[in-house]
Amino acid sequence: MPARFIFITGGVVSSLGKGLASASLGALLQARGYKVRLRKLDPYLNVDPGTMNPTQHGEVFVTDDGAETDLDLGHYGRFTGVSARRSDSVSSGQIYSTLLTKERRGDYLGGTVQVIPHVTDLIKEFVLKDTDGEDFVLCEIGGTVGDIEGQPFLEAIRQLGWELGKQRVMYVHLTLVPYIAAAKELKTKPTQHSVKELRMIGIQPDILLCRADREIPLSERRKIALFCNIREEAVIQALDVASIYEVPKRYSEQGFDAQVLKMFGLEAKGKPDLKKWDEILERVQNPQGEVTVALVGKYMGMGDAYKSLTEALDHAGIANRAKVHVKWVDAEGFEKENVQKALADVDAILVSGGFGERGVSGKIAAIQYARENKKPYLGICFGMQLACIEFARNALGMKEAGSTEFTPYEEKNGKGPLVGLMTEWLRGNVLETRKEGSDLGGTMRLGAYECDIAKGSLAEKIYGATKISERHRHRYEVNLGYRDAFEGKGMVFSGLSPAGNLPEIVEMKDHPWFVGVQFHPELKSRPFAPHPLFASFVKAALTKSASKKKAA
Ligand code: GLN
């Protein structure tokens, strides 16, 4: 049987958890023994989210094959363990870019190029591509029904419904059922309108997920079913939960997966096997210790901007049976003077990835504090580059050490800048090159690269391996020309690219736990397989916290 397609749309408002609903359904179908793939179709006009500020659209998730994608692909991977690929993410920008290249090449010669059928054909091609061997392909449509940019996507999935038929296509729609305090009632009208909007473009949802902050009475669910032309059992409640790891279980209790199978004429025998989810939940709900990690960054309180990072910290908490609290520390307006105040009470410090000069001095101050006060430190990407800059300036006396990303460099010692733009590097056997004026979109060192770890290093102990692969997303690199000076004073380059010219991991000798990595380990962490770096970092934080308590 070729793959079946489930399209997930959203209505009324955004931020209802469409990504998590899709990821959860994927997990539930897996738990019933099916093979799944998850995809995201984003209607915005950027070719990919790589050039977008994380405050606009959350973090940029990077795949092994080097695509910069929507953060929902992170949820999919964490919930199903299936790594997303470039072919799992598309945007209007990408579709139009392909379309216009084809038009210029003459592919449509003689014809008028139109949204229907040309744009919709490309969308359908994306949905169907690379799906051999899958039982279910879940496609989430970004945005909410009614958005102008979303129309061609809805039209394309409507067409697919006809072309592939009921046995292979179904539609799930997620809406909000708000509680109106003055009336003391849950209101179904927004849901009715949202479904009406969908039906106007020819899509009749098969299942409705109704997000609400309290139980929706049967009478109201019946009303929704009647007005929206849906079977009563297919109106599924999506109630607020304390932990995202509860979502698959709650959806299953409401019959979501059973209904999906029923719609496809598949037998839904018994219940899905959710043992591993129960174990995760048990650990999340019964922590035996707690730690506070300072996350020093620029987009404060914006959970979505650091989604994979906070998730990876949670996974590390699961691994250590501890609750990990995050203290958001704004790197801006944060200088040496208030370092002590902001960081004295935390058990560990993390400086995340980032771009540009804003917040740099605050991040460097935090790193110096972590190094000198022996607090566990994890520096990710920019956090590793800045750790090297901090060390050069304050431990090696290289006062002018910096990155050409935010300080102009003047050649003095013939070695080049400490952190500089990379113009050439190897990807496997292929040489990639960039110039100062290259396009900004999609031109960083992106995706999975191998790294060789030095024997006897902390990194080797953490990974339990000397060859690893991690995902990258950066334009600058630390200059290995300074290696001797660094290692002479205790900062060791313990991970290098296979060719030996690009530093991937640094660590500090006389420090309980100080590691900087040029890659983004958070992108590969999963609740069922917490990332070893994060697990070890949180373990070090727990040790720090225990010794603090003892001293007190
Ligand atoms: N801005 C740095 C670079 O481009 C680091 C990027 C990052 O932290 N992801 O190299």
Give 78-121 pLDDT, tens digit per residue: 999 999 999 999 999 999 999 999 999 999 988 999 999 999 99
In the three-class reduction of DSSP (H, G, I as helix; E, B as strand; rest coil), residue 522 is classed as helix
Residue at a domain's end among 262, 279, 296:
279
CA of 358 to the centre of ligand 1 (A): 13
Query: Is 108's C-beta closer than 6 angstroms to any atom of ligand 1?
Result: no
Task: Give residues with Cβ within 8 angstroms of 539, minimum separation 6.
Answer: 316, 320
The verdict on 217 and 347 lying in the same domain is no
| pLDDT for residue 365 is more than 90 | yes
Is 159 buried (19+), middle (13-18) or exposed (0-12) by CB count in 10 A? middle
475 CB under 6 A from ligand 1?
A: yes
Give how many domains the chain has, as a whole number: 2
Going by alpha carbons, the residue nearest to atom 8 of ligand 1 is 353
Q: Whose CA is nearest to atom 7 of ligand 1?
A: 353
Residue nearest to ligand 1 atom 5, measured at CA: 382
For residue 337, name the pLDDT band (cuts at 50, 70, 90): low
Instruction: Return the pLDDT at 352.
Output: 92
Instruction: Indicate whether 270 and 318 sit together in one domain.
Output: no
Q: Looking at the predicted structure, is the pLDDT value of residue 517 above 70?
A: yes
Residue 223 Cβ contacting ligand 1 at under 6 Å:
no
- For 257, phi then psi, to 5°, come to -65, -35
pLDDT digits (tens, 9 = 90+) for 180-222: 999 999 999 999 999 999 999 999 999 999 999 999 999 999 9
CA distances for 498 relative to 227, 323, 397, 452, 504, angstroms: 62, 37, 30, 6, 10
Q: What is the CATH number of the domain that holds 37?
A: 3.40.50.300
* Tens-digit pLDDT profile for residues 222-278: 999 999 999 999 999 999 998 999 999 999 999 999 999 999 999 877 789 999 999
> Does the annotation mark 451 as catalytic?
no
pLDDT range class, residue 14, cuts 50, 70, 90: confident
Between 409 and 345, the more confident residue is 345
Active site residue 149: no
Residues of the chain with pLDDT > 90, as a percent, come to: 78
Q: Is pLDDT at 150 greater than 80 in this prediction?
A: yes
Position 436 scores a pLDDT of 67
Q: Is 473 in the pocket of ligand 1 (CB under 6 A)?
A: yes
Q: Are residues 271 and 397 in the same domain?
A: no
* Ligand 1 atom showing the smallest separation from residue 353 Cα: 8
**357 and 430 fall within a common domain:** yes
CATH code for the domain of 517: 3.40.50.880
Catalytic residue of the set 75, 140, 522, 531 = 522
What are the φ and ψ backbone dihedral angles of 392, each rounded to 5 degrees? -60, -45
Residue 521 in this model has a pLDDT that exceeds 80:
yes
**Distance from Cα 338 to the centre of ligand 1, integer Å:** 26
Residue type, 163: E
Atom 9 (ligand 1) nearest CA: 353
The per-residue pLDDT for 425 is: 64
Average pLDDT over residues 9-26: 92
Half-sphere exposure of 45 (CA within 13 A, CB side): 3
- What pLDDT was estimated at residue 442? 62
Distance between CA atoms of 115 and 132, rounded to whole angstroms? 27
Burial of residue 105 (CB within 10 Å: 0-12, 13-18, 19+) is exposed
Segments forming the whole domain that contains residue 389: 287-551
In the chain the first and final C-alpha atoms are separated, in Å, by 65
Instruction: Output the average pLDDT for the chain.
Output: 92
Q: Are strands 61-62 and 136-141 parallel, antiparallel or unpaired?
A: unpaired
Catalytic residue among 381, 390, 405, 477: 381
Bridge partners of 360, per DSSP, are none
Specify whether 224 is located in the same domain as 322: no
The minimum-distance atom of ligand 1 relative to the CA of 355 is 1
Query: What Cα–Cα distance (Å) separates residue 427 from each residue in 189, 409, 424, 448?
Result: 54, 27, 10, 9
Which of 52, 62, 295, 405 gets mutated to test ligand 1 (max ligand atoms within 8 A of its CB)?
A: 405
**SS3 label, residue 140:** strand
Token readout for 300 is 């404060």
CA of 311 to the centre of ligand 1 (A): 20
CB atoms under 10 Å from CB of 75, counted, come to 29
- Say how many C-beta atoms besides its own lie within 10 A of residue 533's C-beta: 25
Nearest-atom number in ligand 1 for the CA of 444 is 4
Do 312 and 272 fall into the same domain? Answer: no
Residue 388: active-site member: no
Are 210 and 65 in a shared domain? Answer: yes
In angstroms, how far is CA 156 from the centroid of its own chain?
26
Specify whether the CB–CB gap between 434 and 422 falls below 8 A.
yes
The dihedral formed by the CA atoms of 355, 358, 364 and 369, expressed in degrees to the nearest 10: -120
Residue with CA closest to ligand 1 atom 3: 474
314 shares a domain with 268: no
Cα 518 to ligand 1 centroid, rounded to whole Å: 8
User: Can you tell me the distance from the alpha carbon of 487 to that of 373, in angstroms, rounded to the nearest whole number?
Assistant: 20
Say which residues have a Cβ less than 8 Å from residue 249's Cβ, sequence separation at least 6. Answer: 274, 277, 278, 281
Claim to verify: residue 292 and residue 372 sit in the same structural domain: yes
Residue 440: per-residue pLDDT: 67
Kindly state whether residues 233 and 305 are assigned to the same domain.
no
Q: What is the mean pLDDT of residues 112-137?
A: 96
Final residue of a domain: which of 220, 249, 279?
279
Q: How far is the CA of 154 from the centre of ligand 1 (A)?
A: 36
Which of 243, 258, 279 is a domain's end point?
A: 279
347, 252: one domain: no
For residue 95, how far is its CA from the centre of ligand 1 (angstroms)? 28
Catalytic residue among 173, 474, 520, 531: 520
pLDDT band at 437 (very low <50, low <70, confident <90, very high): low
For residues 62 and 424, give the distance between their C-alpha atoms in angstroms, rounded to a whole number: 21
Per the omega criterion (within 30 degrees of 0), is the bond before 532 cis? Answer: no
The predicted structure's pLDDT at residue 424 = 67
User: In this structure, are 532 and 497 located in the same domain?
Assistant: yes
Helix or strand (DSSP H, E) at 256: helix 256-263
Average pLDDT estimate for 382-390: 97
